[in-house]
C-alpha cells in the first residue's frame, strides 16, 4: 500500500511539474491524494487608489512546492465594473469617487490547488499639491507616497516646498527675485527680456550733446541738459525719437524683420542658406555628397558641351561621306590605266575584264 501511494505521489508530482493537461476532477483527486499544498498569499496592507488615477497593483502569492506558474482570478463578480484582475495578478482600477471595496482573489497552481484572500481597496483624493502627480497606489494611508513634482516649480514629498530658481542665477544682466513656483528678473539699464539677455535700443544709441537715453514703447527719449543747468531740470530739453528697430535693415537680404517689445527678430534664411537671419551663408550640407557633375549649373554646361560635340561629329561624318562619293565619281570617269596609277592598291580586276570584253565585242 505504501509503495502504491508513493508511486502515485511521484506520478502526480511529475505530471504537475510538466503542466500535464489532466481533466479538472482527476487533478483535484490527485492533489488531494498527494497532499499538494495550495498557494500562500503575501501579506497585503490596505491598498490606496487615487481618484481619477489608474491603480496598478500586483497581487503576489507563492507555491509551497515552488512551482513557477500561478493563476489569479476574481472570486465572483467584480465589486466595481471598472475593476479587473489579469491571470498574472495585475489588479487595475480607475476610481471616480471616494469608496472602499473588498476584492476576493483566488490563486491556483497547475494541479488546481488554490487559496483565496480578501483585499481592501480604498479610493481617496490624491494629496499631491501644486500640480504634482500621485504614484499608481499607496499602502495603508494616502500620505505614504512620494509625489512626482517635475516641472511644477516645487519639491518635497507632497510637492509643497517652493524651489528657489534663483540659486542657478538665470538672469544674465539683472537681479533674480524668487516667486512662488517661478522667478522674475529685474534687468539692468539697457537690457530687457525674461532673462535680461536682450539689448534695448538705448544700449547702442547715443543721444546728442551727451544726453541721457531712456527706452519707452516704440521710441527712445533723450534728455539733454546744458552744462550750466547744474541740476536744474527746467533748463533741460526732452526729445522723443520714434524708433523702428528694423529701419536699419539688420537682417540679411530678403529676410523678414519683425519687432516685439522694441526688439527686432529676423526670419529664416533664404532657401539653400543657413544662419540666424542676420548672417546667412550657403548651406554646405546640401552640397556634400554631390559630385561636380551633379550640380545644376554644371549639368547645364555638360549638356551644352555634349550637344556641341555631337553636332561636330555628325558634320565630320557627313563631310567624309560626301568627299568619298565625289572622289569615286571622278576616278570612275578615268580610263583603266589612269585609275591604276591613281589607286594602285584598289582591286580593279573586275573592271579590267569588263574592258576586255568590250574590246572583243
For residue 27, how many other CB atoms are within 10 A of its CB? 20
Closest CA to 49 of 82, 72, 76, 87: 82
Distance of CA 159 to the CA centre of its chain: 29
Tens-level pLDDT at each residue, the chain (361 residues): 445 444 544 454 555 545 444 444 444 444 444 578 999 999 888 999 999 999 999 999 999 988 888 999 999 999 999 999 999 999 999 999 999 999 999 999 988 899 999 999 999 999 999 999 999 999 999 999 999 999 888 999 999 999 999 998 999 999 999 998 889 999 999 998 899 998 888 898 888 888 999 988 878 899 998 887 777 888 899 998 887 778 778 899 999 998 876 678 899 999 999 999 999 999 887 555 555 455 555 566 666 666 676 677 777 666 665 665 555 544 445 555 555 555 554 454 444 444 444 444 4
Closest CA to 127 of 150, 102, 159, 151: 159
The C-alpha atoms of residue 84 and residue 93 are separated, in whole angstroms, by 7
The C-alpha atoms of residue 325 and residue 188 are separated, in whole angstroms, by 96
Closest CA to 124 of 159, 102, 104, 100: 100
The C-alpha atoms of residue 139 and residue 154 are separated, in whole angstroms, by 24
The C-alpha atoms of residue 184 and residue 151 are separated, in whole angstroms, by 17
Q: How many CA atoms are closer than 13 Å to the CA of 341, on its beta-carbon side?
A: 4
Q: Is 145 exposed, middle or buried (0-12, 13-18, 19+ CB in 10 A)?
A: buried
User: What is the value of pTM for the model shown?
Assistant: 0.51
257-260 vs 263-266, strand pairing mode:
antiparallel
Domains of the chain are: 1-125 (2.60.40.60), 207-242 (no CATH), 252-300 (2.10.25)
Return the pLDDT at 25.
Answer: 45
Amino acid at each position: 500500500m505504501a509503495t502504491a501511494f508513493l508511486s502515485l505521489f511521484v506520478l502526480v508530482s511529475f505530471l504537475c511539474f510538466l503542466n500535464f493537461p489532466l481533466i479538472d476532477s482527476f487533478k483535484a483527486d490527485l492533489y488531494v491524494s498527494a497532499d499538494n499544498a495550495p498557494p500562500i498569499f503575501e501579506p497585503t496592507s490596505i491598498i490606496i487608489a487615487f481618484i481619477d488615477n489608474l491603480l496598478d497593483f500586483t497581487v503576489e502569492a507563492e507555491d509551497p512546492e515552488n512551482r513557477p506558474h500561478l493563476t489569479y482570478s476574481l472570486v465572483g463578480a467584480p465589486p466595481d465594473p471598472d475593476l479587473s484582475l489579469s491571470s498574472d495578478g495585475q489588479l487595475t482600477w480607475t476610481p471616480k469617487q471616494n469608496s472602499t471595496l473588498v476584492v476576493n482573489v483566488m490563486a491556483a497552481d497547475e494541479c488546481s490547488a488554490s487559496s483565496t484572500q480578501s483585499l481592501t481597496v480604498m479610493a481617496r483624493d490624491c494629496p499631491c499639491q501644486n500640480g504634482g502627480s500621485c504614484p499608481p497606489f499607496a499602502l495603508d494611508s494616502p500620505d505614504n507616497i512620494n509625489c512626482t513634482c517635475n516641472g511644477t516649480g516645487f519639491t518635497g514629498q507632497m510637492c509643497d516646498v517652493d524651489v528657489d530658481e534663483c540659486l542657478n542665477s538665470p538672469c544674465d544682466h539683472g537681479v533674480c527675485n524668487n516667486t512662488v513656483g517661478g522667478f522674475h528678473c529685474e534687468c539692468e539699464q539697457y537690457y530687457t527680456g525674461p532673462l535680461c539677455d536682450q539689448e534695448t535700443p538705448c544700449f547702442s544709441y547715443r543721444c546728442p550733446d551727451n544726453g541721457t537715453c531712456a527706452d519707452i514703447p516704440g521710441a527712445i527719449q533723450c534728455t539733454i541738459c546744458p552744462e550750466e543747468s547744474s541740476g536744474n531740470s527746467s533748463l533741460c530739453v526732452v526729445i522723443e525719437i520714434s524708433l523702428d528697430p528694423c529701419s536699419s535693415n539688420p537682417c540679411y537680404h530678403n529676410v523678414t524683420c519683425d519687432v516685439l517689445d522694441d526688439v527686432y527678430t529676423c526670419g529664416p534664411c533664404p532657401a539653400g542658406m543657413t544662419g540666424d537671419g542676420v548672417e546667412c551663408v550657403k548651406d554646405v550640407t546640401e552640397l556634400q555628397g554631390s559630385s561636380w557633375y551633379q550640380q545644376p549649373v554644371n549639368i547645364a554646361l555638360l549638356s551644352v558641351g555634349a550637344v556641341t560635340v555631337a553636332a561636330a561629329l555628325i558634320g565630320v561624318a557627313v563631310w567624309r561621306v560626301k568627299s568619298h562619293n565625289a572622289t569615286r565619281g571622278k576616278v570612275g570617269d578615268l580610263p583603266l590605266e589612269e585609275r591604276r596609277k591613281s589607286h594602285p592598291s584598289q582591286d580593279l580586276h573586275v573592271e579590267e575584264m569588263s574592258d576586255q570584253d568590250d574590246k572583243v565585242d
